[in-house]
Amino acid sequence: MPLAARISKEMLKPHLLVSGNSSLSGELKVNGAKNSALVLLAASLLTDEEIILSNVPKLTDISGMTAILSKMGVEIKHKTKDIFLKANDLRHVELPYELVHGLRASFFCIGALLGRIGKAKIPLPGGCKIGARPVVEHIRGLKALGAIINVNHGIVTASVPGFEGQLKGANVVLDCPSVGATETILMAAVLANGESTIENAAQEPEVQDLAKMLNKMGAKIKGAGGPKIHIEGVKKLHGCEYTVMPDRIEAGTFLIAAAITRSVLKVTPVISDHLNAVLQKLRDCGCRLEKDGEGIKITPGEIHGVDITTQPFPGFPTDLQAPFMALMTTAKGTSVITEKIYENRMQHISELQRMGASIRLQGNTAVIEGVSELSAAPVEGRDLRSSAAMVLASLKANGTSQVVGLDHLDRGYELIEEKLNKCGAHIIRKQH
């Protein structure tokens, strides 16, 4: 499509106008973790008592999950960053397709529903189109716990046989350390009869956050954060108050924003152990990092190319691959970025190339030759993290870029333009 036609077409969509050559300063605040909050919301189904979640980000994915829970009969109240949930009257066990298809995290509800009431009917999930993210591991684990599961026409129907309708403890060995499968099986096992183990479990901080809240509700979980989790089933869980941990992906995005604009910034709060792999790559490419209370102060120097390979935690997170690639397009020398988690997570490359980046894609490996400058262009984020990468690249480019794909961006970043503008960026949101 000719550039003029593309601009005309994209101007009709909600978009950000991002002024380039930005210099940032001050402090960027990190919200509660989206990926943690979503599964903690699902965990509220495990008790008939009130759950109070604090530090919950205001995102479209969070709104989607609360809408799903509300449809199922959960009483929900909002107060600033707090959400009050009470699932004492679960009226619906069949989740509506129109709500579920755009939110992959909705599938986590199946484990909690089976554990609590012994039945569920859930359409297969959607979300960003970044590759195959099958729910086979979830289903295999739930079957090991005694569930009967059928998948027909995109609908997963699950039930627990027997008079009591209670899952049975089991040893589950995952083929791959899937975060979603680990969380689903964990929620199902806490109310199962007997002891369960999850081997080759995901070690991500979000899994640890879920286990902490479940234990606060009365669960008996040991080993979360390691490759083997042990669960002793309990009869009942009670309500609790719990604060969602800081979002490590948002924190990483903001640190990369400082690096790409060569700006000194403080990003807070950050749990540095959640970002060790990212922090090391930022040091390797030329940034100085200092722990400053609850946050991190970043002082970029001359940025040099470094290689990264995405891996499950504690490796480099796939969710920061696109933002880090944006940084590498502006580095001196060559960098090689290999995506090992999702097979279709290189959709941002063509958009970065539109801005003048020099990138060669070979399978799921990108070879980036740093360029002296990027040029403003109309670009599109085609998934959540590539949208963030487009914003970061636009902050560095010469001129004003137009970034579309805000439906993706708003799933994971709360008012990102307002936060960046407070630190010196100039970003305008246009609704059409």
Other CB atoms closer than 10 Å to residue 301's CB: what's the count? Answer: 11
How do 365-369 and 171-173 pair as beta strands? unpaired
The dihedral through the CA atoms of 274, 277, 280, 286 has a sign that is negative
> What's the rounded Cα separation, in Å, for the pair 74 and 90?
6
- Would you say 231 and 193 are in contact if contact means Cβ atoms under 8 Å apart? no
- Would you say 107 and 138 are in contact if contact means Cβ atoms under 8 Å apart? yes
Active-site entry in 109, 128, 240, 423:
128
399 Cβ contact list (under 8 Å, min separation 6): 20, 375, 376
Tell me the one-letter amino acid at 119.
K
| Whole-Å CA distances, 55 to 100, 117, 305, 356, 384 | 24, 29, 36, 39, 21
How do 308-309 and 334-338 pair as beta strands? parallel
> What's the rounded Cα separation, in Å, for the pair 164 and 145?
14
How do 119-123 and 155-159 pair as beta strands? antiparallel
Residues in a beta bridge with 265: 298
Catalytic-residue membership of 285: no
| Whole-Å CA distances, 407 to 306, 322, 410, 414 | 31, 17, 6, 12
How do 400-404 and 15-19 pair as beta strands? antiparallel
How do 365-369 and 358-362 pair as beta strands? antiparallel
How do 240-243 and 50-54 pair as beta strands? parallel
How do 27-29 and 50-54 pair as beta strands? unpaired
- Would you say 229 and 223 are in contact if contact means Cβ atoms under 8 Å apart? yes
> What's the rounded Cα separation, in Å, for the pair 403 and 119?
43
> What's the rounded Cα separation, in Å, for the pair 337 and 345?
11
Give the residue numbers marked as catalytic.
128
